[in-house]
Structure 1
Amino acid sequence: MSFLSQVLNFINDESGVPDSLFQRLSPDERQALREFELGFRSSQHWKEITQGILAAAANLSRSKDKEDVLGDLVKSARSILHADVGYISLNNGEDHDTSVLVTSGVVTQQFKDIKIPLGVGVLGMVASRQGSAWTTDHASDPNVTHLPEVDAAVQAEGIRAILGAPLTRNGEIIGALMVGERRKRAYSPNEILVLESLASLASIALEKAELITSLEQSVEALRSAHQNREEQVNELQSLTDVDAILTRLLNQGARPESIARFVSERLNTHTWIFNEAGELLVAFPDQSISSELEKVVSRAQNEESFVTEAGYSAIALSVHERSLGVLSVATTVDEAGSRIVHRASATLATALVFRETLAAAEARQVDDVLRKVVAGTASREDVNRLRKLTGFDVNDFEKSCIVSIETVDLDLRASTVNSVLAGTGIAFSHENHICALVHCAVNISQKSVESAMEPLLDWANARQGDLFIGAVPLARDLESISRQHEKSCALTRSLRQLSLTGRVAMPDSFGSLGLLLGASSESVADIVEATIGELLFYDESHSTELARTALAYLEKNRNVADTARELYVHENTVRQRLDRIKIILGSAWAAGTSALDVHLALRAWTLSNSTVNRENKREFH
């Protein structure tokens, strides 16, 4: 068995690579191996979390007793979050207290029998916040409302840290799903999100169990009314089918398209799903939207509730006061239809939040790798990971470049750049600009890079904003990419100093002028004024073209004949103009270091002047 195979076998067994093998690796290989192990453990952890949540969701479609279903959910919460104890507490409206319904890991009867007045403990914090609440140390937390009998039960169980997520029914908090630790513990945002997802499932389980109980009692009470009994049984069966189908859709990812299709077919109507900004995500079977529908959707989102009006029904998609959008149907639903819509919305909201969490975690991985690439510290493993996550291959340097993007008047974000470039580039925020790796259709050139960046330039132009973009071909070795990034930033700064917007600058765009702009802290206007200001003033006052003649003379290697052909004038005219230039700038203006200073200033003036002309043309049109 090869050395690499031995390492991989230990990783697959999740037993860790032993020191005897680890010491045989080079320092870079050790670092790469540890990073891979961390990523592998993270993936396995999220896989276990996903399987746990989906397994808990699958229980909702089974014909189980309420206590059994909730007991399984509590065990799932405790297992996924590695908690010492877990329990579900339900509110007693008449007694104004809450009591423990099911537990897992609890060892004292005192805690199982505890009745907590509403507003006390972490449960009170959940109710007041209308959302998740936690404490790292119950006994010493001043934010927790304490009662001696409650504190005694908690201390007897040995619980210190507690995390709770609310159970809701029709928008009202009816209890909480809780986990606890017999030590101090701080809960991460991901752990809070997992418990909230399980609490949403527990809420559905409670509603389903209560519905089944209610229907069973009705069937027993109305046994003599055969027709009514059949209708209630059919309704129960229908809702059970709905739960089973929604659970299957949740296991498959619960895409908005599949939820819209299910609701439309189940209620025999049209269905629309909107995002939190009110934009249409999915319409089934068509996309026609009336003004009445827009009003109902807006009301449901503003009130975060279920709304029935003007022949439409709409329900806000939300997870504990966080708006995710609206689901709407083209019918005034009855009670059975309302349950279907509520279940569909809860399934969709849970899937959206979970998918968003996974996407955010993946985006963070991409950003981390990109920052390593730009810093020149990326390893080959990082390059391979970037290719797997995004499809971008840093090794394809002949068609790839590193781009620096700046703006002064646009709300430009990396996510916007990624969306506009549509797969040709990957961007992230870096210091005071946005950095992107861009892939061109053909080998790198001024034309191919401008073509790749054209969608972003069009986006900025449509918003009447200015973009400054510097681009440098990717280096062949990873260590040199950081220098290429610095060059792209220098080009971007050069564009800003020249006020050249709506174009892409590459290393050969400015010649030596680009080096001056990248290194100097003076403005271009100051450089031009100090060097050729008097010449420009003379041209403006006398309607002459001395500055243009001086630039052509220097560009043509001080050849009078070539300069005359370039300007379409007689050689004597050129000589006369050169004599006038000597009077204004001095006899040594075209020799030695003065020639370089004048040449750079003339080029800067030409570029700035061309920008003004383009802006005037744009305003005219």
Structure 2
Amino acid sequence: MPTFLDLLYDEAPRADYDDLVASLVAAGADPEATRRECDVALRLRDLVARQRSREAELSALYQTAHDLTALRDVDAVLEAIVRRARQLLKADMTYLSLNDVDDGTGEGASYMKVTDGALTAEFEQLRLPLGTGLLGLVAQTGAPYFTADYQTDARFEHRRYIDAAVDGERIRAILGVPLLVEGRVIGALLATHRTVRPFPPEEVSLLTSFAAHAAVALENARLFAELDAAARRIGEQAAAVDRAAEAHDRLTALVLRGSPLDEVVEVLGQVLGHAVGVRDREGRRLAGPEPILVAEEVPVVAGSERLGCLVVLGDPDGDAHGQVLDPAERRILERGAVVVALVLLFARSEEAAEARLGGALIADLLRDPQDRAEVGRLRARAARHGVDLDGGCVVAVARLDGVEAEVAARAAVRAARASGGLVGVHDGQVVLVARADDGPVAVGEALARSVATTGGTATVGIAAGPPDALGSGLSAAYAEAARCAEVLVVLGRTGEVSDPAGLGVARLVLGGGGPEALTDFVEDVLGPVLAWDETRGSALCRTVEAWFAAGGSPSGAATRLHVHPNTVAQRLARVDELLGRGWREPARALDVQLALRVVALRGVAPGDVPSAHI
């Protein structure tokens, strides 16, 4: 016959204990003593069962703690917590919520974070205002609550949509415990049954332990996130320091090499990964691509003087406004602005020196040196300036308004470099002596544009120089260009560019000159017509004279010439082709009539003698 110890060892059911008591009493054992032994054995059995349950709980808690050290994904840890809590408590569903104090409603809410065993998607998206329902009460007070039958429990504030969600899950019994971090409630952990039943203290204690682990997981996740963010910031700062150091080294090397502004801007754009440009004080482009669509800019200053600005170019197809650089990149841009300021100051110093030396050389050239040795010395000085004026030159003289001559000359240095010439100040005017590759007018316009960058205005007279500007004859070209600029000012044509031919009759009235000036004037005004008459024996000049004499009437001119009106019309059309239709306008008509009168005063009828003999 087995003993009570045998039953304990075999984990026998309760009925076996009762059967053994009956067998022992029937065999003559003391009934009272036998029942006491049975009660002791049953208490031992319950104790062993509770111990085993406790061991299972501790094992689950240990495994959860192990997961916390092995997992960085907080969602995965929380899912493991609610899943194990459901298994140990043999609950139908477990879920975890987090508090959102600043949810915009002013009362705060707790929302579902993780669920296990839910039947409806609506429940997984439930948000409960703090203080409502059992979950909201736990999340608000930080105390555990449980109920054997939620729907009939009047202790909790019921709301229709909450009760509807509970009904949808067929929930009856609910146990909720708070998630606490340093005494602060951050959410709640709940276990539910779909039958009415109480919750013994050991289940409350077990769920509370799981809630503590969940709180640790959330806090660890926050700390890990902060550590990761700090590591990223440190990495970004280190990268920014390295990038700034690289930018500093590259920009410093450019300054030491005396690199031009375009190269500095190109390197700065490579370092920043954005297109970069430089504008002057008036917003004109100094370097970088065109057109400039500014997204960000920093000033370029030297002391208290603003030289311009360094700009980052935006996407032409996108929004040009708003910051495109991070703080580290903006510091690089600011450092680049300092380098740009240095480059601009160096360039200004070079241009000032070049204009000063150019002015001295121009002054010596204008003395028309005849001595071969002196010409050789001037040629050597010009070579040091990189000047090549062999094969003809142009002299441009600028009368200035709104700008000092030294400032204007410095601004014109680039135009002089581009034309392989010299620029400087002479007698208070800016003088440019350059090659005539692009034509005299182009040289004068380049000088005027350069002066305009300073905010001033240049009225420029131009004249053709001698074949060898380093020899004699340059002073005569200078005098002619200076007179031309003076006449433009007297005529009120400030800001224009012109050679003597562009002055028309005003050249004769205001500009002085002798017979050669008259000959040049006639050639400039009537040259193509005179040449046509000379080569073809025609009478275009006589027809033009008759047309003027008839008050601009073709028929009247035909009567004077004894020809058909159609002949006059054909001749005038030819003159239009040779001189342009503008010759009939009042200003040019005066020049044409005066040229015809000069021809007549010299004793030769227009059209009878070649223009070369006038």
Q: TM-score, normalised by structure 2?
A: 0.36
Larger radius of gyration: 2
Q: TM-score, normalised by structure 1?
A: 0.35
